[in-house]
C-alpha cells in the first residue's frame, strides 16, 4: 500500500475509532489528557507500521493494544517519580481486552463519560468546543482551527490547557447523576449546538455556511442520542439539527450568497433529513419533552419543514412555540425571533412593536439581526427610508462578508433605482 | 459527504432466500453500530427482481419489462445511505459489515452527487432547469426521493 493510501486509510480508521479508543484508555488511566496522548502515540505508530504491514483486520483493537503497551513503557519510566503514574501503568497492565461483542455497554459508558468530561464546567466554552471536536469528533487541531477561523497554535494551546485543567482540577471521569445531571446535560447539548450553528451561519469570514461542521455536530448529536436514548432533549436537539440541516443546500445561491428562508427553493430541501428530524421530534415529544427548549425550536423548524410553500407556513403555531420558548429562556434573541413570527402571523405593526421593545437590550446592542428584522418590518409598513437605514446599520454590524453583501443588496432593492 | 453502500444481488437473494435468524441478528448489530456512530442515514433491503420491472427508454418510446432479470451480479439487493468524511471512511465501514449474502458477496461504495459536485458546468440556467424538473417530479434531488 502506498504511503498516501495508508495515510487515508489510517485517517478513516481514526475517525471511526478514536473516540472509543480515548474513552477506553481514559477509564483505565483516569486522565483524559494522558489517554489522548497515548491514543495519538498509537496513531503515529500506525502511520509508521501500516504502510509495510497493511491495515490490520481489527484496527481498533490494534490501536488499543499499541496504546496500552506504549502507556506501560512510558509510565514505568516514571514509576519511581510518581505514584499516580505507577497506578496508571498497573491499570493498563491488568485490563484484559474484552471482545468487542460483549463489551458494547462498556464502550457506551466510556463514551458517555468522555462527553461529560469534555464539556465539564471547569472549562471555558471555547475549550469545551475544541475538546469535544478533538476527543469525540476525531478532528485534528488543524481542522478545528480551520472551522473556527483560529490560528492552529492557538487551538493547540487551548486543547492542551484544557486537558491540564481537567487533570489539575481532578475532574472525575464519570457521568453526573441526580440533580447534577440536568444542568450538565444542558451544557453538553449547548456545546454541540454551538458547533452546529457555527457551521450553519458562520459568525465571521468569507463563507456563510460550513456544511462540514454541521455534519460533525449532527454526528455527535446522533451519537449522544444513542448513548442517552431516554433523554427527550437530546432527541429535541437532534431533531432541530436534522431539520435545520435539511435546508442547508437551499440556503446558498449559485454564487455562494445566502438565500433567506422565504426565498428558498423548497424542492432543494433534503427529504431524508426532514424525515429523520420529524421522527426525532416525535420521539422527544413521546418521551415527554415537548416543552424542552430544543424540542420547541425543533417544533418551529418542523412548521417550516411541513409547509410546501412559504405562504403555507403555520405562523400562529410558530408564535405559540416562541411564546413557550421565551418563558423558558428569557433570551432577547428568542424575543427577536418571536417578533418576526408575530409580524408574519399578525402583521408588521405588531411585530415592530415587539422588536422596538428590544432596542435597549444590552445583549443586542451590536447584534446585526435586530436592525435587519426591524428593516423588514418597516419596509412592509412602507417606511422605506427607515428600513434602508436599518439595513445599512445591520450591514455595518455583521462580521460575515456574504451576509453583509446580502444586507446591502436588500437595501439597494428597497427603492427601484435607489 | 454521503455514500451509498450497495449490496450486490446473488442467486440466493434473487431466489428470495430469506436470511436466517443468526444472519439477521448479525446484520442488526451492524446496523446498530452504524447508528451508534451517527453515520447511518437510511438503509433498505430490496425484494428479488422477479417482483420488479424495468422501463426501457428509446427515443420517445417507453417499454416496460417485468422481472426477473438475468445477470444477477449486476442487480442490487439492498443499500445503506451513510454520512462519512471520505471514501476511505465509507470503505472502512463497509469492511465491517457481516457478509451481506451467503457465499461470495459484494458491496459497492459510491459517493452521492451533491449539486456542488457539478461545479461550473452546472450553470445557473441549468440549475434552474434542474430545479424545475425536480419540482415537477416531486423528487428532492441528489438525496433521492425516500
Copy the grid coordinates of residue A60.
Answer: 481498533
Burial of residue A123, with CB atoms counted within 10 A of its CB: 0-12 exposed, 13-18 middle, 19 or more buried: buried
Q: Is residue A379 classed as helix, strand or coil in its secondary structure?
A: helix
On whether the CB atoms of residues A147 and B85 are closer than 8 A, the answer is: no
- Report the C-alpha gap between A321 and A91 in whole angstroms: 51
In sequence order, the 6+-apart residues with CB closer than 8 A to the CB of A323 are A338
Residues 6 or more apart in contact with residue A91 via CB below 8 angstroms: A28, A29, A30
- Give the pLDDT confidence score for residue B142 in this predicted structure: 32
Q: What is the value of ipTM here, to two decimals? A: 0.83
Cβ neighbours for A256, distance < 8 A, ≥ 6 positions apart: A207, A208, A402
pLDDT of residue B135 exceeding 50, the answer is: no
Which has more confidence, A66 or A85? A66
Q: Which residues pair with A204 in a beta bridge?
A: A399
Which one-letter DSSP state was computed for residue B41?
A: E
Closest residue in A to B81 (Cα) is A272
Q: How far is CA B68 from CA B11, B56, B65, B72, B83, in A?
A: 11, 15, 9, 9, 32
H-run or E-run covering A48: helix A32-53
Cα dihedral B146, A222, B99, A67, rounded to 10, equals 150
Nearest residue to A352 (alpha-carbon basis) of A309, A318, A386 = A386
The structure's pTM equals 0.86
Residues A246-263, mean pLDDT to the nearest whole number: 84
What band does A90 get if pLDDT is binned at 50, 70 and 90?
Answer: confident
Residue B76 vs residue A256, higher pLDDT:
B76
Asked whether the bond before B68 is cis by omega within 30 degrees of 0, the reply is: yes
pLDDT at B98 over 70: yes
Considering only CB atoms, which chain A residues are within 8 Å of B81?
Answer: 272
Q: What is the pLDDT of residue B127?
A: 53
Calculate mean pLDDT across residues A6-26.
91
Tell me the H-state helices in chain B: 11-14, 21-36, 87-95, 124-137
The predicted pLDDT at position B103 comes to 83
Which residues have CB under 8 Å from A207's CB, separation 6+? A256, A402
| First-last CA distance in chain B | 18
Give the pLDDT mean for A100-106: 62
B89, B114, B139 ranked by CB distance to A15: nearest: B89
The lowest-confidence range among A255-264, A314-323, A328-337 is A255-264
- Residues in chain B closer than 8 A to A143 (CB atoms): none
Assess contact for A132 and A224: CB atoms under 8 A.
no
Q: What is the bridge-based pairing of β-strands B2-8 and B107-111?
A: antiparallel
Q: Which of A215, A271, A276 sits opposite B140 (nearest CB)?
A: A271
Residue A289: DSSP 8-state: -
Is residue B8 over pLDDT 50? Answer: yes
pLDDT tens-place string over residues B11-36: 999 999 988 999 999 999 999 999 99
Q: Is the CB of A3 inside 8 Å of chain B's CB atoms?
A: no
At residue A1, the pLDDT reads 63
Residue A85: Cβ within 10 Å count: 20
Phi, psi (rounded to 5 degrees) for A282: -60, -40
**Confidence bin at A97 (pLDDT 50/70/90):** low
Lowest mean pLDDT among A40-54, A120-134, A201-215, B111-125: B111-125
Q: What is the pLDDT of residue A15?
A: 92
pLDDT of residue B48: 94
Of A8, A215, A218, the CB nearest to B88: A8
DSSP A258: B
> Looking at residue B126, what is its pLDDT?
53
* Chain B touched by A275 (CB under 8 Å): yes
Amino acid at each position: 500500500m502506498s504511503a498516501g493510501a495508508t495515510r487515508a486509510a489510517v485517517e478513516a480508521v481514526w475517525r471511526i475509532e478514536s473516540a472509543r479508543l480515548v474513552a477506553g484508555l481514559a477509564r483505565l488511566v483516569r486522565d483524559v489528557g494522558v489517554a489522548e496522548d497515548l491514543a495519538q502515540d498509537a496513531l503515529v505508530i500506525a502511520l509508521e507500521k501500516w504502510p509495510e504491514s497493511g491495515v490490520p483486520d481489527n484496527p481498533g483493537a490494534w490501536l488499543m493494544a499499541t496504546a496500552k503497551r506504549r502507556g506501560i513503557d512510558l509510565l514505568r519510566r516514571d514509576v519511581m517519580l510518581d505514584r499516580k503514574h505507577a497506578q496508571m501503568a498497573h491499570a493498563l497492565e491488568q485490563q484484559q481486552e474484552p471482545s468487542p461483542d460483549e463489551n458494547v455497554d462498556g464502550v457506551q459508558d466510556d463514551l458517555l463519560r468522555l462527553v461529560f468530561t469534555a464539556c465539564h464546567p471547569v472549562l471555558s466554552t471555547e475549550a469545551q468546543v475544541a475538546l469535544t471536536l478533538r476527543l469525540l469528533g476525531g478532528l485534528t487541531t488543524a481542522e478545528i482551527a480551520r472551522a473556527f477561523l483560529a490560528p492552529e497554535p492557538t487551538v493547540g494551546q487551548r486543547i492542551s490547557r484544557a486537558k491540564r485543567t481537567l487533570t489539575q482540577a481532578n475532574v472525575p471521569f464519570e457521568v453526573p447523576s441526580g440533580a447534577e445531571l440536568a444542568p450538565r446535560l444542558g451544557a453538553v447539548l449547548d456545546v454541540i449546538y454551538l458547533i452546529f450553528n457555527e457551521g450553519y451561519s458562520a459568525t465571521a469570514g468569507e463563507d456563510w455556511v460550513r456544511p462540514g461542521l454541521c455534519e460533525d455536530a449532527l454526528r455527535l448529536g446522533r451519537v449522544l442520542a444513542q448513548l442517552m436514548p431516554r433523554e427527550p432533549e437530546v432527541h429535541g436537539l437532534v431533531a432541530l439539527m436534522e431539520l435545520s440541516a435539511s435546508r442547508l443546500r437551499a440556503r446558498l445561491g449559485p454564487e455562494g450568497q445566502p438565500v433567506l428562508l422565504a426565498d428558498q427553493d423548497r424542492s432543494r430541501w433534503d427529504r431524508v433529513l426532514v424525515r429523520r428530524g420529524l421522527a426525532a421530534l416525535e420521539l422527544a415529544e413521546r418521551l415527554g419533552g415537548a416543552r424542552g427548549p430544543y424540542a420547541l425550536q425543533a417544533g418551529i423548524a418542523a412548521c417550516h419543514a411541513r409547509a410546501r410553500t412559504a405562504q403555507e407556513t403555520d405562523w400562529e403555531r410558530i408564535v405559540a412555540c416562541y411564546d413557550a420558548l421565551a418563558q423558558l429562556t428569557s433570551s432577547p434573541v428568542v424575543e427577536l425571533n418571536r417578533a418576526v413570527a408575530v409580524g408574519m402571523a399578525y402583521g408588521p405593526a405588531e411585530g415592530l412593536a415587539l422588536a422596538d421593545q428590544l432596542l435597549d437590550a444590552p445583549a443586542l446592542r451590536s447584534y446585526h439581526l435586530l436592525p435587519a428584522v426591524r428593516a423588514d418590518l418597516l419596509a412592509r409598513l412602507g417606511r422605506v427610508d427607515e428600513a434602508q437605514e436599518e439595513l445599512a446599520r445591520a450591514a455595518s454590524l455583521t462580521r460575515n462578508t456574504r451576509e453583509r453583501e446580502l444586507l446591502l443588496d436588500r437595501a439597494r432593492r428597497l427603492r427601484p433605482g435607489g | 459527504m454521503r455514500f451509498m453502500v450497495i449490496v450486490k444481488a446473488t442467486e440466493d437473494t434473487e431466489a428470495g432466500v430469506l436470511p436466517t435468524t443468526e444472519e439477521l441478528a448479525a446484520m442488526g448489530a451492524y446496523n446498530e453500530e452504524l447508528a451508534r456512530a451517527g453515520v447511518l442515514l437510511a438503509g433498505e433491503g430490496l425484494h428479488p427482481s422477479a417482483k420488479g420491472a424495468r422501463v426501457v427508454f428509446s427515443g420517445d418510446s417507453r417499454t416496460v419489462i417485468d422481472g426477473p432479470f438475468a445477470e444477477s451480479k449486476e442487480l442490487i439487493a439492498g443499500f445503506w445511505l451513510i454520512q462519512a468524511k471520505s471514501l476511505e471512511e465509507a470503505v472502512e465501514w463497509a469492511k465491517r459489515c457481516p457478509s451481506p449474502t451467503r457465499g461470495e458477496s459484494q458491496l459497492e461504495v459510491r459517493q452521492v452527487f451533491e449539486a456542488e459536485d457539478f461545479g461550473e458546468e452546472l450553470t445557473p440556467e441549468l440549475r434552474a432547469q434542474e430545479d424545475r424538473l425536480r419540482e415537477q417530479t416531486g423528487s428532492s434531488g441528489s438525496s433521492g426521493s425516500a
